[in-house]
Amino acid sequence: MEVTRILRILVTILLVVTFILVVVSAYGESREIGAMVRLSDATSSIVTRLATNDLAWTDDKGVQHSYVLNADLLERLEFKRSLGGDNFAFQVSIFSKHGDFENFGPRPPVGRMTCSLIAPAALWHVDRVVPARLKVVTWYL
């Protein structure tokens, strides 16, 4: 009877230790997934702000055209953002039929989590609008 009691205690301890290890492992994964979700949301927010405000082309009448990009504005763009209490840096590229623009902004760090998003847009090029793609790569600072 004493042996069965010892075996029950050992099995109970084993189950408790296993449960603790599973919870700790799940917590680490949950934190990493949460960081990826925040990075994805930040990338989407940055792309939207660039396309509708920071890089939007303004015509002669002063009307700002969302999703029509002015590549000349890339030179004075700040490549860091603070969103939701986290700090992010990003790199911007604009691709069009009339030639690709180089990457603007800092290079993404090697070995760190990044998120990229490509959005359709238009580009104001030589007094006309041409189809383009806006690519943004974002990472935590």
Pick from 33, 28, 27, 35: which is nearest to 86 by CA? Answer: 35
Structure confidence by residue, pLDDT tens digits, 63-98 = 999 999 998 898 889 999 999 899 999 999 999 877
CB contact at 8 A, 66 and 51: yes
CA 32 to chain centre: 14
Under the banding of pLDDT at 50, 70 and 90, the label for residue 1 is low
User: Nearest 5 degrees, angle CA 111-CA 116-CA 117?
Assistant: 175
Average pLDDT rounded to a whole number, residues 29-47: 93
Beta bridge partners of 65: 57
The answer, yes or no, to whether residue 99 has pLDDT greater than 80, is no
